[in-house]
Amino acid sequence: MRFTKMHGTANDYVYINCFEEKFDRFDLIPTLSDRRCGIGGDGVILILPSKIADVRMRMFNADGSEAEMCGNGARCVAWYAYSNGLIKEKKFKLETKAGIKAVEIKDDELVEINMGKPLEVQKDFEVEGYNGTYVSVGNPHFITFVGDTESFPVHEVGAKLEVASVFPNRANIEFVEQIDEMTLKMRVWERGSGETLSCGTGATAVFVASNMLGRVGDEACVKILGGDLFFRLDKETGEVYMTGNAIEVYKGEIEIG
């Protein structure tokens, strides 16, 4: 089976082009994602034909669980589809489990994606003694502001909050430090994957929460361990746009039996 390793701000996945490959070994996703015994990545993403959009993606965490949406993954799918000739135009529609997203290929391996409107936002949301904001952008996120993200015990607290009883399907947890009125710093604990270097939907949720709380305006940069993501809010529609990189690392072939 042929595959492509790609990353968006260091959020790396194994991408399988299901226009050409058949993949039904979902039991192997944890093995393929394993960084010592497999290809290695934060999970596996399938690039598929779509009946309702130009291309479709399915995203699986490193533990094999399927997630609704991945912003970094969506940008990489868009870049792959365009650069490999699956899509001819720079603007097109991408089907995800969280709905159809509009994407646009920019220059220098940058992709802008319309993340849409947040589906749900709840302020003063308390989880296991931590106060924050709950935001759903197709998948669930809990955002809490901390003084210093570098010294904060992300692994210990993230693992606990992910499986809190208030989240029946688990949740992604974002720990945020405000740098200034246009800059936020974030570390993320992703459900099913642990701490990752980046999470596009998580950064989107952080921007949404911070904008709603008046911490940032209608444009902001979210700094994550893997790089920077840029956001803008369309005041007329309420839709959030994210721009970030989409990088092909290498192509390979693996025998899965």
Catalytic residues: 70, 199
Q: How far apart are CA 167 and CA 158, in angstroms?
A: 13
Please list the alpha-helical segments (H only) found in 193-256.
200-212
Alpha-carbon gap, residue 61 to 109, rounded angstroms: 24
Residue linked to tokens 């709950």: 134
Tell me how long the chain is.
Answer: 257
Rounded-to-integer distance, Cα 109 and Cα 96, Å: 21
Question: Environment class of residue 36 by beta-carbon count within 10 Å: exposed (0-12), middle (13-18) or buried (19+)?
Answer: exposed
- Tell me the longest C-alpha to C-alpha distance in the chain: 53
